[in-house]
Structure 1
Amino acid sequence: MDTTDLNLLPALDALLTEGSVTGAARRLGLSSSAMSRTLARLRFATGDPLLVRAGRGLVPTPRAIALRDRVHTLAREARDVLSPQDEGLDLATLDRTFTLRANEGFVGLFSAPLISTVIAAAPHARLRFAPKPMKDSAPLREGVVDLEIGVLGAFAPEVRTHFLFRDRFIGVVRAGHTLLSAPVTPQRYAAARHVVVSRRGSFTGPVDEALERLGLRREIVAVVPGFPDALRIARQSELVALIPRSCLGDESFVQGLASFELPVTTPEIVVSAMWHPRMDADPAHRWLRNVVISVCGASAP
């Protein structure tokens, strides 16, 4: 490895700025003898005397004069790199695109208040909502996605999380569906035909486990990748859809539909924000996280 001692950089900056061993020593909190030894090392490293005696003082060599501004810039940049990041985030001038990966229900319910809150504080910031094809932490690790919104799964162990809100599944049918002509019992619910949502194409889930404990089984005739697809099918057919209650917050989703509580108990849906620790200390990312947490707390179902 290169044996260059970068600790010499601030000393060189101080010497060229002060033009004096005593002044440079005072600036760095060193003794004059220690600074004299450092100057000797700098002379050896650069192959130039840098500061030479002129009467009772020192004067810079042409090489020292040529280096002065460059060294000062390098020393300042090195301090910036090796110091905590300035928390003075200027939202008025923040020009950045944040990518949030979330399902259609979250986008339908929260995108409008999130966008309004973000652009009110940071008019040059932008939000990109990306689809969720699979539970995959790679986009977070690679910086492609800033925030993942959803249910905790098999994510990388280093991923940071913050609770946003609790949700639950409900049933949805077209308005006037015969299922709603009487109380929805487990038996009547299981006897209906169903459409379910699964990114992996699975035909069963927690509802089926609850029904199985009662000796019941529902007939699933369609699996679709997204909740809007399930709602569209329910609106245009006799099929029963299963969706998170938060989807009801988007009126465009539920026109012509009626919802009901499931006749069986299913696990609660815990929705969280997830991000990679590489973004923990980034002031802009921290601000975005706080905005998402605040908006979800105010608008959660």
Structure 2
Amino acid sequence: MVSPDFNLLVVLDALLSENSVLRAADTLGLSPSALSRSLARLRLMTGDLLLVRAGRDLVPTPRAIELRARVRAVVEEAQAVLCPGEHIDLHTLKRTFSIRANDGFVETFAAQLLAQLSRTAPHVRLRFAPKHDKHVDALRSGELDLEVGVIGHSGPELRVQALFRDRFIAVVRAGHPLCQGEITAARYASFGHISVSRRGLANGVIDEQLGRAGLEREVMTVVSSFPAALALARDSDLVANIPERQTEKSRGGMFSFPLPVPTTCLTVSQIWHPRFDRDPAHRWLRDCMRRVCAPPDGSAMEPDLCDASQGCH
């Protein structure tokens, strides 16, 4: 049996990243003819064309798209194995990390995270990016270092680590009628509600649970963030339904209570691209994030770490 030429993995990674023989050749410092010969060998070994002509450009085949993330991960792992471990001096480290998180998370945790970073790495800066969507392209390209939130479907190569569990509660202004007496599902549903949805959705799990009890609430308005929902609830008789831990500071002086209908808990996680797995500065940032988000009772979540294809939420 002929041993595979593992150098071809580096070539394949460059080809799938650039979608161009010329650009891949330039990246690797090889001639276009040498890259073309390597591409021919790769096509023979994989039984697939990998890159095909589309006008003046090359486009990946479905098989190439399937291989792209796996090949990148293998090449990065090999590079990490062959490179010496890097020691960093946090006191002199100068770096800006980009983190995508919702407004509630930033309001609750950002100040504490910045304080912890400044004590050990005074030249590190954080940029919090708005959470307009959950597209993972920015993680793959390196535009983002971390995403923080409830993880749904994402790229199979991405790494996910749980930070804390949260639950939805209801919040009303001080002096609201719901501050007195038993809060039944019927009383809860009788008031106007605020829905929080970046996609503009008015209904969700709460409405499904109320429907099972033969009840229906009226959503009076839809906003895109939890701080906005709290601001509205503070100055009206509307009910805001928000995550408990991520709104601890912003709901001060308001009346909070458990939802009178069953809902599932949320797991808030940090997610990153595997290119940063062994980056010492990035690992330090992730450790700081875990410490800041640890439950206030001192208990720690299991350090579960997996890739996003394994259903970590």
TM-score normalised per structure 2:
0.68
1:260 corresponding residue in structure 2: 257
Shift of 1:179: 1.9
- Give the secondary-structure state (helix, strand or coil) at the position aligned to 2:82: coil
Which residue does 1:212 correspond to in 2?
211
Whole-Å separation in 2 of the counterparts to 1:85 and 1:219: 61
Partner of 2:83: 84
Q: Percent of pairs identical after alignment?
A: 50
Deviation, 1:180, is: 2.2
Q: Which amino acid aligns with 2:226?
A: F
Q: Report the Cα distance in structure 1 between the residues aligned to 2:296 and 2:118, rounded to whole angstroms.
A: 18
Which residue identity does 1:264 align to in structure 2?
V
How far off is 1:281 after superposition? 1.8
Q: What amino acid maps onto 1:156 in structure 2?
A: G
Which of 272, 278, 282 is equivalent to 1:281?
Answer: 278
What is the 5 A alignment of 1:150-169?
A: 150-169=149-168
The amino acid of 2:89's aligned partner reads: D
In the alignment, which residue of structure 2 is the partner of 1:142?
141
SS at match of 1:273: strand
* Shift in CA distance, 118/187, structure 1 to aligned 2, threshold 3 Å: same
Q: Aligned partners of 2:205, 2:216: CA distance in 1, in Å?
A: 12
Q: 2:267 aligns with which of 263, 270, 278?
A: 270
Q: Aligned with 2:89: secondary structure?
A: coil
The CA distance in 1 between the partners of 2:226 and 2:80, in whole Å, is 46
Change in Cα spacing, 1:290 to 1:201, as seen in structure 2 (3 Å) is same
Counterpart of 1:269, as a letter, is L
CA deviations 1:103-153 (Å, max 9, x no partner) are: 122111111111011111111111111111111111111111111000011
Q: Does 1:187 align with 2:183?
A: no
Contact 2:80-2:278 at 8 Å conserved across structures: no
State the alpha-carbon separation in 2 of the partners of residues 170 and 232 from structure 1: 16
- Residue 127 (structure 1) aligns with: 126
Q: Is 1:229 equivalent to 2:228 in the alignment?
A: yes
Partner secondary structure for residue 254 of structure 1? coil
Counterpart-to-counterpart distance in 1, 2:114 and 2:173: 31
Structure 1 equivalent of residue 290 of structure 2: 293
Size of the alignment, in residue pairs? 223
What amino acid is the match of 1:270?
A: T
Deviations 1:238-273 (A, max 9, x none): 1100110013421xx224421111101101011000
Secondary structure of the structure 2 residue equivalent to 1:234? helix
Cα distance, 1:299–1:122 mapped onto 2, change above 3 Å: farther
* Residue type at the aligned position of 1:181: Q
CA distance in 2, matches of 1:227, 1:155: 23
Q: CA deviation at 1:181?
A: 2.1
Cα gap change, 1:81 to 1:111, in 2 (>3 Å): closer
SS in 2 for 1:271: strand
CA contact (8 A) 1:105 1:246 kept: no
Q: CA RMSD in A?
A: 2.0
Q: Distance in 1 between matches of 2:289 and 2:158?
A: 17
| C-alpha contact 1:246 1:300 (8 A) present in aligned 2 | no
- 3-state SS of 2:87 partner: coil
Counterpart AA for 1:167:
D
Question: Counterpart of 1:140 in 2: which secondary structure?
Answer: helix
Is contact 1:110-1:299 (8 Å) kept? Answer: no
Q: Counterparts of 1:184 and 1:283 in 2: how far apart (Å)?
A: 50
2:134 maps to amino acid: K
Consecutive unaligned residues in structure 1, runs of 5 or more? 4-79
Q: Which runs of 4+ in 1 moved over 4 A?
A: 298-301
Deviation at 1:2, TM superposition (A): 4.5
**Whole-angstrom CA distance in 2 between matches of 1:247 and 1:153:** 18
TM-score of the aligned structures, taking structure 1 as reference length: 0.70
- Letter matched to residue 137 of structure 1: V
Bigger radius of gyration among the two = 1
